[in-house]
Amino acid sequence: MLPLQHYSHMQQTFLQQFKAEPQLMSVAPGRINLIGEHTDYNDGFVLPGAIDKCVTFMLAENGEADLCRVYSVDMNESVEFSLQALSPMENGGWRNYILGVAAELQLAGASLRGFDATFKGDVPLGAGLSSSAALECALATGLNALFDLGFSQVELATVSQMAEHHYAGVKCGIMDQFASVMGKKDQVFRLDCRTLEYAHFPLDLQEYQLLLLDSCVEHSLAGTAYNERRNQCEVGVNVLKHFYPETLKLRDISPEQLNAYKTTLSEVVYRRCLHVVNENERVQRTCEALTAHELPLLGSLLYQSHDSLSKLYEVSCPELDFLVDYTRSIDWVLGARMMGGGFGGCTLNLILSSEKDRFVESISAAYLREYGIQLKAYAVSLEDGAHVKPIPA
């Protein structure tokens, strides 16, 4: 959450930039994912929650038919565009998320008019906490309210996902945007990415807590590798369809079914598929572990997920493997894994709360020795998803 003084700073910036007062404020959070990685675009299951780090927008209509102006307070950069004939900008960075949301809302039937907006966020960038989904969902939520568009929360999530596909070029699943709009305080939720049915689970970790360790690395080919993984899953489905004609996505295949036709797939495609089908099952087992308060089992599922992402799906990197491996011999760390798309970003650790400071100190020192990088630790809490708020007086 942004400290209060940031709101008045945003408001003043709005006034300076646009010579008018903002009409409303919208907020959307980043997310964590307890388990279920690279399952969403395979129509599988995920277990995310929204966090206490958000992107906040202030918006107002500007009386123009189609001129829009958006200013990033953090970057001190702006973009001006017409609502007619939108297309992605080359090297547009954050601007493409803005253009994408405006374009996809209109494609979904929205009648937008000219608006001005400023935004600011505290979701760490490139940390795998979905700062881009927070940006998209905060703007979509703000425009939905400003123009009384009447989109449901789920529709705002899918519009935001399409902005990511068509304007950022990443063919992501629905998890990040869905978590950003549908999160609930102190809960994670199991989402069926095929039907979009979801069930909230209270996250009661007793004397344990979740701690994120940001490797502070971001490997540049992540977007390309992500789309490549998605294609490999589709290649697997196209082969498995011959044997199981009802198969639409890897969600429809069990580990036993996959293994029965292992030799019909290339070695790489088999490993990718094996990760997905096992990871889907791990989501179900994690939900059972949460319901039964079996934290050691939860921890061991986190390690299994990491090993599978690292060895079968190959979306980890040496820095993330180092951070996870470091915890394996520590009794009071029950589990750890890389989180999100991979190739950098954060690990998620289930640790005894009383040992947190000692843990951060020792793992930071070891990581600094190994890679010369100062990691960052975030103890996040789970919060409500995207919403509109009154501008503080």
Give the residue numbers marked as catalytic: 176
Query: CA 379 to CA 377: how far, in whole Å?
Result: 7
Decide whether 175 or 240 has the Cβ nearer to ligand GLA.
175
- Closest to ligand GLA by CB, 48 or 299: 48
**With 0-12 CB in 10 A as exposed, 13-18 as middle and 19+ as buried, what is 184?**
middle
Q: How far apart are CA 379 and CA 356, in angstroms?
A: 9
For the bound state, the minimum distance from the C-beta of residue 89 to ligand GLA, rounded and expressed in Å, comes to: 21
- Dist. CA 380–CA 350, nearest whole Å: 12
**In the complex, minimum distance from the CB of residue 46 to ligand GLA, in angstroms, rounded to a whole number:** 7
Q: For ligand GLA, which is the closer residue by CB, 69 or 171?
A: 171
Copy the structure tokens of residue 48: 């995310």
CB of 41 to ligand GLA, least distance (A): 6
Interface with ligand GLA, residue 355, by CB under 6 A: no
C-beta of 386: minimal distance to ligand GLA in Å? 16
Q: Is 233 in the site for ligand GLA (CB under 6 A)?
A: no
- Please give the residues from 161 up to 190 whose contact with ligand GLA meets the rule CB under 6 A: 172-173, 175-176
**How is residue 177 written in tokens?**
């945007």
Q: Are 312 and 275 in contact (CB under 8 A)?
A: yes
Residue 190, φ and ψ in degrees, nearest 5: -85, 120
Closer of 143 and 175 to ligand GLA (Cβ): 175
Whole-number Å distance between alpha carbons of 40 and 46: 7
**Is position 340 an interface residue for ligand GLA (rule: CB under 6 A)?**
yes
Beta strands in 48-139 (DSSP E): 48-61, 67-72, 77-82, 115-121
Q: What mask, x for binding ligand GLA by CB under 6 A, covers residues 29 to 68?
A: --------xx-xx---------------------------
Residues that bind ligand GLA (rule: CB under 6 A) add up to a total of 10
The binding site for ligand GLA (CB under 6 A) comprises 37-38, 40-41, 172-173, 175-176, 340-341
